[in-house]
Chain A
């Protein structure tokens, strides 16, 4: 008799379950890899490429065809004209050829040496077109009656044109210039400082403010639900609406905030809140705190309401004062959620783009790394440099994600 052994490995049922699981996950995996993983890989590729915004459109030969000389009756002479140009000003196109069908009733005279006629079809070979080069071919033609009878125009058979151009995205030209550009000079230090300031103070500010708000609302009273709803407004409203409202409110010329402060006698001259260093950076950080404190407030309040009240009663009995109760009872209970929130908000504040972009456009010392991606890629039209900044961001995030996996996923029970 053999010793009974427990089954090892996965049985057929287990395999079926795993197959089903992957089948259910497939749409998600597919779409996420198409839109997240693929772009991430391409960002690395692009960051080593000398590519500008204009290079996105590959150079193509453009042709215009016309019949000149206004022929009116059979036997009139006219000129068939092809005008060719390279759409790009600096990139060459190789092996440009043109094929066109000559409408019936046009007899071609002397043909340009670059062209040849085979039956009704005209074939021309232009060789290579340099950047911005223009070419013109004129062929004298005699118009016959059949042309007018058919009523066909030369444009009705658009000429086919071919040509190869090098796409800068797919060739093997690489450069480190993008990274050199990103790290060069004081600019990078300014950007780094703005990012660190914004992220650290934005996160801490939102957390502390959220803690205060949660303590305010952690008791039952009439209007508590209303106030809670109101305090969530900044987070729920579209960022574009609140950002423009802040810009309007703090406008140096017609803003209410300046007018109010002047009238109350706090300041003498209107202040350009979003336009001068270092105030602009402080203001965008304040905006970040204002917009995201509701989130921390919501989490902290949820945690506070789940704390057992018996503990406070016992502390009261033992003579602990309100501040002591907060410091020695509430705070340790909240430490878990606070640290998770801190890490998450830290990463998200670091990633934030819209808010600063809408408030200052990255001017006046508020250009953070994320805004710098946009600035380099679209304002300076250097996509490669933008991608290089994105790569830098990504590397910083990798470091964060190690912390994240180590602490947060444990808290979240994953």
Chain B
């Protein structure tokens, strides 16, 4: 390993790897953003990576001058078709020098940052590893952000396109603002012709009912498990955990049979009685953990002052555990809103669909892709808004309840 710990060599190796990552990322951004045909040129990516990587280990006296020089050099080379990013003849004249210039600045700038304490010659293990970690962190940010963001970006952009645009160039995700409101044609059609307004409402009230019923059942249960002494308490709290482990598909089959025979299939009522049962164990588990953390003395004081147990729960425990209730409610809402399997198996009548079932209906060869994506956006946006608005509660709910997935 110590052979590798030579400044310029490290710079060259990391620079090449980093150069490929950056070039590819920038090419994807340009391709997705402007819809032009650019591609990375492996040879020049490699050469520039090696050059700028080793330059990163040079004494950092005037970093801004170096970065400017790096940008100009790569921009000029890009202009004559010798840069890491090249393209076909259809690419606008000014684009390649600019893209390569930006790339050059980013590459050299970040290499200078990575190689902050690294000099040309031999470096200590500490400095070397710190540089490698900075490099890995940089790659991590780019890769994770790209991998998470691209599918959502594609989802939104596809929903704003029309069929012919999609067929013509599946890479062009630029938005033609001159279309005005016609951008939202898919959404308009879903809300009018496909009844998505009704589905939204159905999903909303089914989820709210699920939350209410779940809390109604699990609060007393959680309290009993957390506070009261009775034979079989440990067995009970363990079996709650075991209940999560039964896969839904195994239960869905007998539920389907029972519902078919009793006529509950294809009714919202059937869905509303089945959803809470899938969430009660999780919610009970999360709540009992929280209840245990509450000071028992407060409740005992209440008991001494003549409250009954139920009054204690209502007047003392619940007000104290409002944050936990909010987390649980949000988590249960998310499960109910996202639930797909039961809705898919139990609902056949398009007038009674929940949102997820409605989106599943759009997955057919007769319905254009952008409608499907618009449906996906409609299903995602409310839960995302809720999530971003109440992230603190949501994160806590996820951490507490995430034994279930």
Query: What are the 6 A-B residue pairs with the smallest beta carbon separation, nearest first?
Result: A351-B247, A241-B376, A39-B254, A18-B230, A24-B220, A21-B228
Complexed CA–CA distance, A31 and B240 (Å)? 13
Q: How far is the CB of B117 from chain A (nearest CB, A)?
A: 13
A36-B277 contact given A20-B224, A231-B144, CB 8 Å threshold: yes
A-B contact pairs, 25 of them (CB 8 A): A21-B230, A24-B220, A32-B277, A32-B280, A39-B255, A216-B141, A231-B148, A232-B395, A233-B384, A236-B394, A237-B152, A240-B359, A242-B151, A242-B380, A244-B363, A256-B32, A259-B171, A321-B126, A353-B341, A383-B257, A387-B254, A390-B253, A393-B250, A397-B245, A397-B246
Chain A residues with Cβ below 8 Å from B212 are none
Chain B window 125-148, contacts with chain A (Cβ cutoff 8 Å), 1 for yes, 0 for no:
110011001000100110011011
> Nearest A residue to B387 by beta-carbon distance?
A236
A244-B376 contact given A27-B217, A56-B260, A239-B340, CB 8 Å threshold: yes
Contact between chains at B253 and A383 (CB < 8 Å): yes
Partner of A36, one of B38, B246, B405: B246
**Is A175 in contact with chain B by the CB < 8 A criterion?**
no
B residues 98-155 near A (Cβ < 8 Å) are 125-126, 129-130, 133, 137, 140-141, 144-145, 147-152, 154-155
Contact between chains at A238 and B340 (CB < 8 Å): yes
Partner of A377, one of B166, B246, B253, B363: B253
B residues 230-246 near A (Cβ < 8 Å) are 230-231, 233-234, 236-238, 241-243, 245-246
A394-B129 contact given A56-B257, A254-B369, A298-B402, CB 8 Å threshold: no
**Is B326 in contact with chain A by the CB < 8 A criterion?**
no
Interface-facing stretch out of A67-75, A128-136, A185-193, A398-406: A398-406
Complexed CA–CA distance, A404 and B238 (Å)? 10
> Nearest B residue to A249 by beta-carbon distance?
B154
Complexed CA–CA distance, A229 and B387 (Å)? 8
Q: How far is the CB of B155 from chain A (nearest CB, A)?
A: 4
Q: How far is the CB of B262 from chain A (nearest CB, A)?
A: 11
Partner of B253, one of A227, A260, A387: A387
Complexed CA–CA distance, A261 and B383 (Å)? 32
Contact between chains at A35 and B251 (CB < 8 Å): yes
**Is B274 in contact with chain A by the CB < 8 A criterion?**
yes
**Highest count of chain B CB atoms <10 Å: which of A216, A401, A408:** A216
> Nearest B residue to A341 by beta-carbon distance?
B402
Complexed CA–CA distance, A245 and B37 (Å)? 23
Interface-facing stretch out of A95-103, A149-157, A342-350: A342-350
**Is A234 in contact with chain B by the CB < 8 A criterion?**
yes
Contact between chains at B230 and A236 (CB < 8 Å): no
**Is B209 in contact with chain A by the CB < 8 A criterion?**
no
Q: How far is the CB of A304 from chain B (nearest CB, A)?
A: 13
**Is B338 in contact with chain A by the CB < 8 A criterion?**
yes
Complexed CA–CA distance, A242 and B150 (Å)? 11
Interface-facing stretch out of B23-31, B183-191, B192-200: B23-31
Complexed CA–CA distance, A284 and B169 (Å)? 26
Contact between chains at B253 and A322 (CB < 8 Å): no
Complexed CA–CA distance, A227 and B145 (Å)? 8
> A216-B137, A239-B340 known; 9 other A-B pairs, CB under 8 Å?
A32-B277, A216-B140, A233-B148, A239-B338, A248-B154, A298-B402, A353-B249, A394-B250, A414-B241
Contact between chains at B238 and A409 (CB < 8 Å): yes
Complexed CA–CA distance, A46 and B125 (Å)? 65
**Is B14 in contact with chain A by the CB < 8 A criterion?**
no
Complexed CA–CA distance, A56 and B225 (Å)? 40
Complexed CA–CA distance, A401 and B403 (Å)? 13
**Is B60 in contact with chain A by the CB < 8 A criterion?**
no
Complexed CA–CA distance, A24 and B338 (Å)? 29
**Is B261 in contact with chain A by the CB < 8 A criterion?**
yes
Chain A window 366-390, contacts with chain B (Cβ cutoff 8 Å), 1 for yes, 0 for no:
0000100110010000010011001
Partner of A234, one of B37, B148, B228, B369: B148
Chain A window 35-49, contacts with chain B (Cβ cutoff 8 Å), 1 for yes, 0 for no:
110111011001000
